[in-house]
Structure 1
Amino acid sequence: MDDNIFHAGERLVQERTGERDTALINGRSISPGIPAAARNFVGQQRWCVLGAADAAGALWACLLSGEPGFVQASDDLRSLQVASNDPQGVLASLAPIADLQPGQSIAVLLIELQTRRRLRINGHVSRASALALHVAVDQAFALCPRYIQKRELLPLEAVSAPDHSAGTTATSGTVLDEATSAWIAGADTLFIASLGPSGDADVSHRGGRPGFVQQRGQVLRIPDFNGNSMFNTLGNLELEPRCGLVFPDFEGARQLQLTGHARAHFGVEADIDQTGGTGRWIEFQVHSWRSTPLNLTQRCRLLEASPYNPLVRGVASAAFDGPPRSLVPR
């Protein structure tokens, strides 16, 4: 395959971890368009994750809900349309990245929790209006089911509309408070947005047992479990620290969005058990956060935790002691 499919940061991490050969094999699944076999999958989804920078350059990940068909692949499989059931329109539902401009890099992750299937699409905005977002596809590839907790998405008829109580109103801040810290401590799923060296957006899934994300003050530590060896996120963080996270509240139809910067740590022998054996952490410094209801009230019921979730020591801990002691020079 063309080795240029990976940028310098990705190649550096692949070599550092000794997983370069595996990355080259798995990289064969990356295509310049949506795989034909995924067309129906795209049209069946009822929510997706988007990653992009806001007008000030801060990076965010955002959840967007809709009826089946709100995301559609074009006939030539080279573009994607995302519409909205929200009367305010699709862009209003994507705050704070609502000011999307043609040519801007954007990433879309379609993930079907009940079947643990996911499709990652990286591209750029071709058109953006209140009614629809059009994404020109640069890269698309399916991903393995590891660390996805199986959930059933409840029919819209089975849930009530938001009541605008304290749990469904929007809040924001720069310092993580007791409520946001509890949300993070109980999470088993998050999504992380990052940027490549040319400003190319990417958004990826991370999952584990509740408590797998640890917190100390404004710093979160996310273990990097074994994956597809391509290291798209860690490779991006080698070259560009801007980063965004979103934590879904599957039962409450809410999302917690955080923006900040991050770096990866390697060879952290002291924490080998807490990283599933990889010795790798992502440390994320929070700059600001937002808690908002989803644009459409959709809730999920947990069916089964991922069988791949590592049995890590002390995973329920919500704090950690000092920075990782990396054994690999940076």
Structure 2
Amino acid sequence: MDETIFHAGERLVQERTGERGTALINSRSISPGIPAAARNFVGQQRWCIVGAADAAGAMWACLLSGEPGFVQASDDLRSLHVASSDPQGVLASIVPLADLQPTQSIAVLLIELQTRRRLRVNGHVAQASAQALDVAVGQAFPVCPRYIQKRELLPLEAEPTSDNSTCAEATSGTLLDEATSAWIAGADTLFIASLGPSEDADVSHRGGRPGFVQQQGQVLRIPDFNGNSMFNTLGNLELESRCGLVFPDFEGARQLQLTGHARAHFGVEADIDQTGGTGRWIEFRVERWRSTPLNLPQRWRLLEASPYNP
């Protein structure tokens, strides 16, 4: 059992919550390459979430969609290859991360909503071009299916089912407006990108019942439900507050991206029910936001909420 696999921030949170032992047991799933059993899973995915810092150092989480096979594991399982059939290319599809540079830290989360399976990959940019992105894997590990709402992908020709789905124009701002606030209030899924020591990127899933994220002006409060006890995100936030969120619009084929700073709060007993019993919140202060259509207009139908949602 490698007790050095976690950095100082992760160890601090694990010890604070009394979950250090569980974290060490679960760390056995972390490997320096893509697990061989996950090779087919990688190649079957229709979308992924990319987390990294932009040229100015702000953190962003970005949704990237494609046909099965647009993400592939290398033969030696030590790298991911992300390609795009979009004429604008991969980097243009994950704005504002269009200036990714070799050796830059990056995280990729592959998640299959219909089976609730997910694989987290943290590493560095090996090569970035208009049409392809190669990621050198540093760590890869499967994550438990809790809090993932089960959805099925609709055919591309399916008619939109939401009044919001006809909005294809990109918009942006600094202050959350009525439309973005309503989007957040109705969300049951988000992804969060954070930075650890040496600016190592990570991207993680958060889910709950619609309304599980609370807004107070420019501050979003995200409950931290029980998980795998490794506390990758909360551990990162102990050391670095830069953070990025992305909220998918599953019916409208859009994404809402936010960048800002966040910190974790512990032992908030007054909100024990809202946090699923943990008493933990992430408070995220929005500095900028962007609403954009997905590069491939995928739409999803909700099948079942997670049975683990508090």
**TM-score when normalising by structure 2:** 0.98
- Aligned equivalent of 2:214: 214
One-letter code aligned to 1:44: Q
Contact 2:166 2:252 in 1 (8 A): no
Deviation for aligned residue 1:197: 1.4
Distance 1:166 1:31 in 2: 42
Distance 1:92 1:224 in 2: 32
Q: Find the residue that maps to 2:60 and give its secondary structure.
A: strand
- Aligned equivalent of 2:74: 74
Contact 2:165 2:252 in 1 (8 A): no
Contact 2:165 2:253 in 1 (8 A): no
Distance 1:262 1:84 in 2: 32
Distance 1:218 1:254 in 2: 21
One-letter code aligned to 1:90: V
Deviation for aligned residue 1:269: 0.5
- Aligned equivalent of 2:235: 235
Distance 1:178 1:188 in 2: 18
Q: Find the residue that maps to 1:179 and give its secondary structure.
A: helix
Identity over the aligned pairs, expressed in percent?
A: 88
Deviation for aligned residue 1:165: 8.8
Paired residues for 1:179-218 under 5 Å: 179-218=179-218
Distance 1:47 1:165 in 2: 18
Deviation for aligned residue 1:158: 2.9
- Aligned equivalent of 2:271: 271
Deviation for aligned residue 1:98: 0.9
Deviation for aligned residue 1:87: 1.0
Paired residues for 1:1-330 under 5 Å: 1-158=1-158, 167-310=167-310
List gaps (5 residues or longer) in structure 1.
Answer: 311-330
One-letter code aligned to 2:280: R
Deviation for aligned residue 1:71: 0.2
Contact 1:159 1:298 in 2 (8 A): no
Contact 2:50 2:62 in 1 (8 A): yes
Deviation digits for residues 245-279 of structure 1, max 9, x if unmatched?
00000000000000000000000011001100000
One-letter code aligned to 1:5: I
Deviation digits for residues 19-44 of structure 1, max 9, x if unmatched?
00000000010000000000000000
One-letter code aligned to 1:167: C
Deviation for aligned residue 1:4: 1.2
One-letter code aligned to 1:211: G
Deviation digits for residues 70-115 of structure 1, max 9, x if unmatched?
0000000000001112110111001001100000000000000000
Q: Find the residue that maps to 1:290 and give its secondary structure.
A: strand
Q: CA RMSD in A?
A: 1.2
List gaps (5 residues or longer) in structure 2.
Answer: none
Deviation for aligned residue 1:292: 0.1
Deviation for aligned residue 1:159: 5.1
How many residues of Structure 1 are paired with residues of Structure 2 in the alignment?
307
Distance 2:158 2:254 in 1: 17
Q: Find the residue that maps to 2:272 and give its secondary structure.
A: helix
Distance 2:151 2:165 in 1: 25
Contact 1:267 1:279 in 2 (8 A): yes
**TM-score when normalising by structure 1:** 0.92
One-letter code aligned to 1:19: E
Q: Find the residue that maps to 2:198 and give its secondary structure.
A: coil
One-letter code aligned to 1:151: R
Contact 1:9 1:239 in 2 (8 A): yes
Distance 1:35 1:159 in 2: 38
